Amino acid sequence: MAILETLFGKKKKLFKASCQITKEPIENGFGYLLTTADVIASQKYWDMIMTEPETLSYTVSHFKNNTSGTQMRSMIFEKYATITKPWIVSDSIINYFNVDRNAAREYAQKWWASEGGFTPEKTGPASSTLDSSTFQNLKQYAVMEAGRSRAK
């Protein structure tokens, strides 16, 4: 019986990850680990998110003073700002964020080594890890300004 278990026993699944923004696969040991606060602090990120094909109509609606567009943009912001886990992101998107890349790379390596168990300090919803004024300023940009140049 032991031989059969050795031959047909369950193999440990290989830990894999893909970028939480671009969805591209990330090789083991690579990528960057960011907190939700790191992500939502990026205006470039919000300009991208609010002008994706799925969200562009809300952005256009918002800039035409339609409250339903503004409400949807607010909901989109809340969706991302409340993420509790760290974000693993790829080399192709890291330029959107103003972070210490060396630290983010080290965090990613610790995250890989722990098979996703490592969490950097200040991981959690942005409203819990940022001061209220900073959070409100970031929300203001994301909801009211992001994507303006593409929507007109």
The packing angle between helices 56-63 and 67-81, to 10°, is 130
Domain membership flag for residue 8: no
Domain membership flag for residue 28: yes
Angstrom distance (rounded) from CA 96 to CA 137: 18
Domain membership flag for residue 118: yes
Q: What is the mean pLDDT of residues 119-137?
A: 96
**pLDDT tens for each residue of 64-99:** 999 999 999 999 999 999 999 999 999 999 999 999
Spatial CA neighbour of 19 closest among 84, 109, 86: 86
Domain membership flag for residue 11: no
The packing angle between helices 132-140 and 67-81, to 10°, is 130
Domain membership flag for residue 90: yes
Domain membership flag for residue 83: yes
- At position 1, the amino acid (one-letter code) is M
Domain membership flag for residue 107: yes
Instruction: For residue 57, give its domain range.
Output: 20-151
Domain membership flag for residue 143: yes
pLDDT the model gives residue 15: 87
Angstrom distance (rounded) from CA 58 to CA 92: 26
How far is the CA of 49 from the CAs of 87, 96, 109, in angstroms?
15, 11, 27
Give pTM, 2 decimals.
0.88
Number of domains in the chain: 1
Angstrom distance (rounded) from CA 74 to CA 4: 56
